[in-house]
Amino acid sequence: MTLSILDLAPIVSGGTAAGALRNTIDLARHAERFGYRRYWVAEHHFAPGVASSAPAVLIGLIAAATATIRVGSGAVQLGHQTPLSVVEQFGLIDALHPGRLDLGIGRSGQRRTERTDTKPGGGARTVDGLLIPPPFDFSKIMNHPQLVHYATLLQQPGAQTPDFAGQIDDVLAFLGGTHEAHAVPGEGADLQLWILGSSAGQSAQVAGERGLPFAANYHVSPATVLEAVEAYRKAFKPSDELDEPYVIVSADAVVAEDEGRARELASPYGLWVRSIRTGAGAMPYPTPAEAAAHTWTEQDRELVADRVSTQFAGTPEQVAGRLRVLRRVTGADELLVTTITHDHEDRVRSYELLARAWSRT
């Protein structure tokens, strides 16, 4: 199977964090049975609608509840932790569930002087059937006073995050046993290191130069996915890990037996994205009725247009077809699908229908 899953452990309206976490473990068990290759969990903080704040803890629980599916992070925010602590956390899980872990790392929390994925400009275009919307200006989010304050709570006072490339080198050294200090557990762990990125910036460069697999975000930053993948491949150098570039690309999708039902289940997505992009953090995921009651302004619609227009919602055949286009245009080796619906049963069913349709093609 060349499909994998990215899960945020969403808390829905009327739900609880405990319920969200139980649903995540249940979905992971189903995903293993459906034949998905990997089950990754995200890292989000200060979000009323997301329970995945500590990936390593959640991954350990998922690994214990499953037997064969690979489990990993999409992604650990390395700017908020030290390389040693991350390697020890994942090494501990690997000691009990060897050969099944993916350590996905992102640059979140880094001090940045420039973000290549935040520059607005350009219109929507279609590349061989794939919609590439205009770039979203992420500085509108990153400079929000509340988020700037939150960032200070994720680090010790006065802490300075090292350069990302140096941190990745430390992770590799701890895993390979070439660091002057030894990570126990962690050293020699049988896990796969991934770099996640949304642009043609440092993440893609570091992944390519060190010969690591790369995960590109179509569901978070669809405007820059092609640039990110191109930059990674251009920078790639063979390593002990890989002889050739290896790419996984994410997409947001909702599947149901008929298109109308799929679009209904997907209808709260825009309101949920709006809550993130206004700086409030992901809200508890609404019901379709709650989403329909929201009064939209033109500014609201512009705020979420790139995400809503690139969400794949439809029948199993329709969504599988759009995913095939995404895979062809990006040249992805795998696809990472993230699905959120208010009712857990609908989310499980969406992944089941998609797995069946994908296996037929």
pLDDT of residue 119 exceeding 90, the answer is no
Q: Domain with 106 in it: what CATH number?
A: 3.20.20.30
DSSP letter (8 states) at residue 68:
S
What pLDDT is stored for residue 75 in this prediction? Answer: 95
> How far apart are the C-alpha atoms of 221 and 19, rounded to whole Å?
29
Q: Domain range holding 58?
A: 3-360
> How far apart are the C-alpha atoms of 123 and 46, rounded to whole Å?
33
The predicted-structure confidence for 206-243, as pLDDT tens digits, reads as follows: 999 999 999 999 999 999 999 999 999 999 999 999 99
What pLDDT is stored for residue 244 in this prediction? Answer: 98
State how many domains the chain has.
1
Higher pLDDT, 112 or 316: 316
Instruction: Answer positive or negative: Cα dihedral of 351, 356, 357, 358.
Output: positive
Rounded to 10°, the helix 202-209/164-176 angle is: 30
Q: Which of 40-54, 147-161, 184-198, 283-297 has the lowest average pLDDT?
A: 147-161
> How far apart are the C-alpha atoms of 107 and 116, rounded to whole Å?
13
What pLDDT is stored for residue 116 in this prediction? Answer: 43
pLDDT of residue 113 exceeding 50, the answer is no
pLDDT of residue 118 exceeding 80, the answer is no
Closest CA to 276 of 8, 58, 78: 8
CB distance 46 to 29 below 8 Å: no
- DSSP result, 193-253: EEEEESSSSHHHHHHHHTT--EEEETTT-GGGHHHHHHHHHHH----SS-SS--EEEEEEE
Residue-averaged pLDDT of the chain? 94
